[in-house]
Chain A
Amino acid sequence: MSRRAVITGVGVVAPGGIGTKAYWKLLSEGRTATRNITHFDASPYRSRMAGEADFDPVREGLTPQEIRRLDRAAQFAVVAGREAMSDSGIEFDQLDPGRIGVSLGTAVGCTTSLEREFIVGSDRGKYWEVDQSYAVPHLYDYFTPSSMATELAWTVGAEGPVSVVSTGCTSGLDSVGYAAELIMEGSADVVVTGGTEAPLSPITVVCFDVIRASSTRNDDPTTACRPFDKTRDGLVLGEGCAIIVLEELEHARARGAHIYGEVAGFASRCNAYHMTGLHPEGIEMSDAINIALKQARADATDVGYINAHGSGTKQNDLHETAAFKRSLGAHAYKTPVSGFKSMIGHSLGAIGSLEIVGSLLAFEQDLIPPTANLHEQDPECDLDYTPLVAREKKVDTLLTVGSGFGGFQSAMVLKKVEGAGR
């Protein structure tokens, strides 16, 4: 009897609101939460917008020591982790800790803290030899992102397999795919997974500025991210976190758990093409989709919804549109597609998990969130991108994809589970 991995708990920190409810309200209403950057003075930079989370660690219940110790991304993970634990209904302290794992995605880890400490230690870049006397005690935790997996593992009491999966902008999908593999192979019964990212600091903004990947629509930040629209001019950064409790199906059924859906198929592919560029044919993303569908024992025609990468760059729009058509054929034209980054920005290693959670909520509500800011569809993108307004539709099988620097292309198939409670 093969083991299956199902989702029984979710937790979210996102632009527009903390918690799953606020997140779904934003998505379902098609509102946007991108704005001019307030976290720091962004005036020297080309792109000065982001999807910022209004996150107050004190209000979210973190202790003074947690707030001092943890990078903002790790704070997100702890807060969203607690929501997901509670949502799952699992009594974590009643489980065998050795059967609980953690797999956390992040692309740039604790960059914000690292940059802040660099500025002090180097006195604003004056000295190559960073001054050791200004090192903060938790500097090494910022140095390596696995410290965030440690924090989440402590939060849930995991003593099974724990790690960070860091594959750039597909981390949030790949970490959940990794978690599903741990459950299917029998290494764990419950894996707390997802992605977290708080990348809004000057060095990250500049990274996207210098390669002109980000939008310059600074005068109109709420509509700046426009995937599949012919006026699009680049991505808008974001921050956030989604944590997911993934559980072995029989384990979940035995306790009568509410099941959001099953991670029925997952695949990642390297494109072997370019560290930041995408080939317009979308072959590798299409390969990933095909493998994920096959693993899920689903046909292309079973797919009722595609959650797109939708970053807001032309090369991405053409790339994934081609991939969807390549994999789904004529059915691609009948399948609603939408992109959440239009509403919450691109939170790098977290976004894949935020997209999984939003898609699961679409399952629950029989409602597909739209692509915001899509007024003038690019004629080269000729699928149904669900513009502006959410659409009622009952979906049993959906596809979510991601694409990232380094050439990573990932696809996941989520399916509803029979007799899933609630």
Chain B
Amino acid sequence: MTRAVVTGIGIASPNGLGPTAYWRATLHGEAAIKPITRFDSANYWAKIAGEVPGFEAGRHLQGRLLPQTDHMTRLTLVGTDWALRGAGVQPNDIPDTDIAVITAATAGGYEFGQRELQKLWHQGPEYVSAYQSFAWFYAVNTGQISIRHGTRGPGAVVVSEQAGGIDSIGHARRQLRKGVQLALTGGMDSSLCPWAWVAHQASGCLSRNNNPKRAYLPFDRDASGYVAGEGGAIMVVETPESAAGRPGTRIYGEIVGYASTFDSKMPSREPGLKRAAELALRDAGMDASEIDVVFADAAGIPELDKAEAEAIKGIFGPFGVPVTAPKTMTGRLFAGGGSLDVASAILSIYWSAIPPTINVENLVPEYEIDLVMNEARHGKIKAALVLGRGKGGFNSAMVVREYR
């Protein structure tokens, strides 16, 4: 079976731009959930978010791209540039038809979209941007990446709310198996504008606690919902043979297992997360005992935390594996969250360290999980399991392993 290795990681996270800055911040447990600055939050009950600071699109992208892109597309394009640079891929290294682009989306370019909707309804149809047709739709990031890098292989966009970041990487691996050499994959999301914010508030999932240290507390007795953030990760995933074509290419790790499942509406049926994890392990041909850390979905919503803890306990036994949720530092990044977790798991293996979960003070004892709290844990990590769930019933799991 065709193997899939990660050779480039582009990250835009609220606590760091690029894999080096992100990993340093994440190992130190640097919190990035703060009062919202992107719009005036005075009239909204939720007032905190994980914003990506210090990102100046104009420093990275040509001026002509700015009027036609939403913030989330700019993050995506810059993240993709970084991933390709990290992987040492130069134009013409790989035939353009052998490169796939597979991204995840949750929102579209909604800040852009709100601006154009406002023009339409306040000023008139003639004021709407000629770029609206594609700047806000869900497929925009894949299209823009393909154009920027001249890739003519397969393109796709998957949407499964917050599980989509994992699904996109799973689908990218499918493309490698179908014969392409390299895939640009993952997700970057941002929907920090008033229109999107009202929708986030309506999800029933945001915490009503506006203290950045007390708002998003997965597996904690005081769990009260989550905090929304922006950013994510785009990765270069390719076959080992393709990577070998560029001598000196660093291989961070390998994607060895993936599965996704869905929760029934019927309460009598068991939630599908455990099944997704088991199927991903089976796909990897691995036993649970070979997993050194679980990157949890960590919803921060009591019933979902309980279900996830039960799934983990069911597979690994009580306190059977270290569990962590670095997203407690950044908030949940929607389509970007799952792919950033996969990137974190890969970095964990590469740097032999488990980043901590922050802010959790009162871990629910009945969960019986070994949550890595406050301090990173150092030591050899050979394999990790990444879990993700999306509102509506989506469950995805991915197994990553050191490359050998």
Q: Which of B10-18, B24-32, B153-161, B237-245 contacts A (4 or more CB under 8 A)?
A: B153-161
**Which chain A residue lies CB-closest to B148?**
A272
**Which chain B residue lies CB-closest to A107?**
B137
Which of chain A's residues 113-133 have a Cβ closer than 8 Å to chain B?
A: 115, 118-119, 121-122, 124-126, 128-132
Question: How many A-B pairs with Cβ below 8 Å?
Answer: 262
Inter-subunit contact A130/B194 (CB<8 Å): yes
Inter-subunit contact B195/A272 (CB<8 Å): no
**Which chain B residue lies CB-closest to A141?**
B392
Inter-subunit contact B199/A135 (CB<8 Å): yes
A333 within 8 A of B: no
With A125-B122, A159-B272 given, is the CB distance from A207 to B132 under 8 Å?
Answer: yes
Which of chain A's residues 130-153 have a Cβ closer than 8 Å to chain B?
A: 130-132, 135-147, 149-150, 153
Inter-subunit contact B117/A118 (CB<8 Å): yes
Inter-subunit contact A159/B122 (CB<8 Å): no
Contacts of B269 in A (CB 8 A): 97, 159
B372 within 8 A of A: no
Inter-subunit contact B195/A122 (CB<8 Å): yes
Inter-subunit contact A160/B262 (CB<8 Å): yes
Inter-subunit contact A153/B134 (CB<8 Å): no
Residue in B113, B161, B259 whose CB lies within 8 Å of A146: B161
A67 within 8 A of B: no
Determine which residue in A213, A272, A405 has the highest number of CB atoms from chain B within 10 A of its CB, and name it. Answer: A272
Contacts of B272 in A (CB 8 A): 98, 159
Inter-subunit contact A210/B118 (CB<8 Å): no
Contacts of A153 in B (CB 8 A): 262, 393
Contacts of A102 in B (CB 8 A): 262
B346 within 8 A of A: no
B264 within 8 A of A: yes
Contacts of B125 in A (CB 8 A): 44-46, 202, 206, 209-210
With A140-B391, A166-B105, A270-B151 given, is the CB distance from A405 to B146 under 8 Å?
Answer: no
Contacts of B96 in A (CB 8 A): 272
Contacts of A268 in B (CB 8 A): 154-156
Name the distance in Å between A271's Cβ and chain B's nearest Cβ. Answer: 7
Inter-subunit contact B122/A167 (CB<8 Å): no
Mask: chain B, 126-152; 1 = CB below 8 Å from A; 0 = not:
001111111001111011101101111
Residue in A164, A208, A210, A405 whose CB lies within 8 Å of B160: A164
Contacts of A121 in B (CB 8 A): 195, 198
Contacts of B113 in A (CB 8 A): 203
B351 within 8 A of A: no
Inter-subunit contact B117/A125 (CB<8 Å): yes
Residue in B124, B153, B160 whose CB lies within 8 Å of A44: B124
Name the distance in Å between B287's Cβ and chain A's nearest Cβ. Answer: 21
Inter-subunit contact B129/A158 (CB<8 Å): no
Determine which residue in A102, A174, A207, A284 has the highest number of CB atoms from chain B within 10 A of its CB, and name it. Answer: A207
Inter-subunit contact A140/B202 (CB<8 Å): yes
Residue in B120, B140, B158, B160 whose CB lies within 8 Å of A203: B120
Name the distance in Å between B336's Cβ and chain A's nearest Cβ. Answer: 13
With A269-B152, A406-B142 given, is the CB distance from A276 to B133 under 8 Å?
Answer: yes
CA–CA, A154 and B134, complex, Å? 30
| Total chain A interface residues with beta-carbon distance under 8 A | 84
A1 within 8 A of B: no
Inter-subunit contact A149/B144 (CB<8 Å): no
Inter-subunit contact B45/A132 (CB<8 Å): yes
Inter-subunit contact A168/B137 (CB<8 Å): yes
Contacts of A115 in B (CB 8 A): 117
Residue in A108, A154, A272 whose CB lies within 8 Å of B137: A108
A377 within 8 A of B: no
B263 within 8 A of A: yes
Contacts of B196 in A (CB 8 A): 143
CA–CA, A139 and B201, complex, Å? 9
CA–CA, A191 and B177, complex, Å? 21
Inter-subunit contact A129/B158 (CB<8 Å): no
**Which chain B residue lies CB-closest to A271?**
B152
CA–CA, A73 and B281, complex, Å? 36
Contacts of A126 in B (CB 8 A): 122
Name the distance in Å between A182's Cβ and chain B's nearest Cβ. Answer: 9
Q: Which of B36-44, B218-226, B315-323 contacts A (4 or more CB under 8 A)?
A: B36-44
Name the distance in Å between A362's Cβ and chain B's nearest Cβ. Answer: 27
5 contacts between A and B (CB under 8 A): A167-B157, A268-B156, A269-B155, A406-B140, A408-B142
Extra 10 A-B pairs, beta carbons < 8 Å, given A162-B260, A165-B157, A270-B154: A101-B262, A102-B262, A118-B121, A131-B43, A139-B202, A145-B138, A161-B260, A165-B156, A166-B158, A405-B134
B interface list, Cβ under 8 A from A: 39-40, 43-45, 68, 96-97, 101, 105-108, 110, 113-114, 116-125, 128-134, 137-140, 142-144, 146-147, 149-161, 164, 167, 171, 174, 177, 191, 194-204, 259-265, 269, 272, 275, 390-394
Leading 10 A-B pairs by shortest Cβ distance? A406-B143, A125-B121, A125-B122, A150-B392, A270-B146, A140-B203, A207-B133, A166-B138, A164-B159, A270-B155
